[in-house]
Amino acid sequence: MSLSYILRRVSEYTESDMHFDVQNPNIVVVGVGGSGCNTVSRMKRLGLEVPTIAVNTDMVNLRMVDADKKIYLKTRTGRSTGGHVEEGEASALMARDYLERSLEGSDIVFITTGLGGGTGTGATPVIADIARKLGALVISIVSLPFEIENMHVKRAREGLKKIMEYSNTVIVLENEKLLDIVPNKPLNEAFMVMDQLISYTIMSFVDMITKPSLINIDLADLRYMLERGNLSTILISEGEIDDVRRIVTDALNNPLMNIDYSTANGALIHITVGEDASLNTIYSTVDTISSFMRRDPKITMGARIDPEYGNRMRILVVLTGIKVPFMEKVREIPELEEDFEVR
Ligand SMILES: Nc1nc2c(ncn2[C@@H]2O[C@H](COP(=O)(O)OP(=O)(O)OP(=O)(O)O)[C@@H](O)[C@H]2O)c(=O)[nH]1
Ligand SMILES: [Mg+2]
């Protein structure tokens, strides 16, 4: 990335800043299945001001969820999916008209789910498909089950392939990483951490495109970066501005997904700094990140000044075009017989 590119982005901002009637894009966050609904609930409690929709086949869970809109997906059997992905898919297809009406007019649709169950894994590709056909940019953010959740892993892998097909990008986070981050927490608290990470990712995106910035990232930039079918992940780090390299290596050393960086072909970098940070600090941050990637990565950057940051800097990097070992691993898991019954 050249300095002239950055200067052009800065001058673009100055021009667009003169038009006060620039409208923010319409954004909506959809949580699917038990885990997706929990994430959406938590986001609301954290103060996200974007409209949220909770979608589930489980009425009990839906009643407890905190969301602006709740969509109950009725299964063919009238009961829960029991882990059957095709039931989750069919229930979403039956609610197609209603889902369409709820998503109409959205510019960006975030869909979040924990892969591995029947509802989230089956309904998410249908919802992504509907949103894309309505013209929205679809960013799915999914968590992958723990490796010990055998049957869930197999379903998640199949589901992820479909979600990639219908989304502009799928940001993947691994539950397994929670074992490094919070090894001693009980499971429900560990899930809470994952939900918070997903909430934080979505909230950062929303900030990135709606809050006034020094160097703006807009909907067109996102569309350029997030090609259909891409797998992405996020890196987050914060530190003192005088040690940019450490902030970047911290981010790279603590990914929320086991990935191969060398295959990443793009990075959406958003930097938040205090008032005194120089253009050079921003430039060297972007330069350091790109030095870890293969030659000529596609890079888009944005920068926001927040006086509260003082001498500190926060970076959020969305790495795109990554390869994920989870998708490569083909470990055969024996299927249970279809009408197996526990007596
Ligand atoms: N982030 C997060 N993940 C969860 C939570 N609960 C379960 N999970 C993970 O999400 C996966 C899917 O579980 P659920 O969300 O309960 O499944 P569902 O989509 O509701 O599907 P069914 O209940 O089978 O219809 C599990 O394999 C877990 O790995 C949660 O509260 N938060
Ligand atoms: Mg459920």
- How does pLDDT run across 312-341, given as a tens digit for each residue? 999 989 888 887 777 766 444 444 444 433
Q: Answer yes or no: do 118 and 91 share one domain.
A: yes
Q: Do the beta carbons of residue 296 and residue 238 sit within 8 Å?
A: no
What CATH number did the domain enclosing 15 receive? 3.30.1330.20
244-291: per-residue pLDDT in tens? Answer: 999 988 888 877 777 777 778 889 999 999 988 888 888 899 998 888
Same domain, 197 and 321: no
Same domain, 111 and 247: no
- Tell whether the torsion through CA atoms of 40, 43, 47 and 50 is positive or negative: negative
Mean of pLDDT over the chain: 84
In a domain, 96, yes or no: yes
Residue 106 lies in a domain: yes
pTM: 0.86
Q: Which ligand is nearest to the CA of 61?
A: 2
Both 89 and 201 in one domain: the answer is yes
Contact of 233 with 319, CB cutoff 8 Å: yes
Q: What is the reported pLDDT for 331?
A: 43
Report which secondary-structure segment, H or E, holds 254.
none
Burial label, 137 (beta-carbon count in 10 A; 0-12, 13-18, 19+): buried
Query: From the CB of 83, is ligand 1 less than 6 Å away?
Result: yes
- Judge if 286 and 315 occupy the same domain: yes
- Asked if residue 52 and residue 108 are part of one domain, the reply reads yes
Nearest ligand to the CA atom of 199: 1
Residue 96 CA, ligand 1 centroid: distance in Å: 22
pLDDT band at 169 (very low <50, low <70, confident <90, very high): very high
SS3 per-residue string spanning 308-320: HHCCEEEEEEEEE
The parent domain of residue 279 ranges over 3-21+231-325
> For residue 114, which ligand has an atom nearest its CA?
1
Indicate if 74 and 164 belong to the same structural domain: yes
Going from the C-alpha of 70 to that of each of 5, 47, 140, 206, the distances in angstroms are 44, 18, 19, 21
Number of structural domains in the chain? 2
CATH assignment at residue 81: 3.40.50.1440
- Nearest atom in ligand 1 to the alpha carbon of residue 36 is 15
The pLDDT, as a whole number, for residue 16 is 40
Closest atom, ligand 1, to C-alpha of 32: 19
Can you tell me the mean pLDDT for 52-63? 96
User: In a mutational test of the pocket of ligand 1, which residue from 30, 32, 35, 179 has the highest number of ligand atoms less than 8 Å from its CB?
Assistant: 35
- Tell me: do 9 and 36 sit in the same domain: no
Per-residue pLDDT of 142-151, as tens digits, reads 999 988 888 8
Residue nearest to atom 4 of ligand 1 (CA): 35
Q: Are residues 54 and 155 in the same domain?
A: yes
Q: Which residue minimizes the CA distance to atom 16 of ligand 1?
A: 34
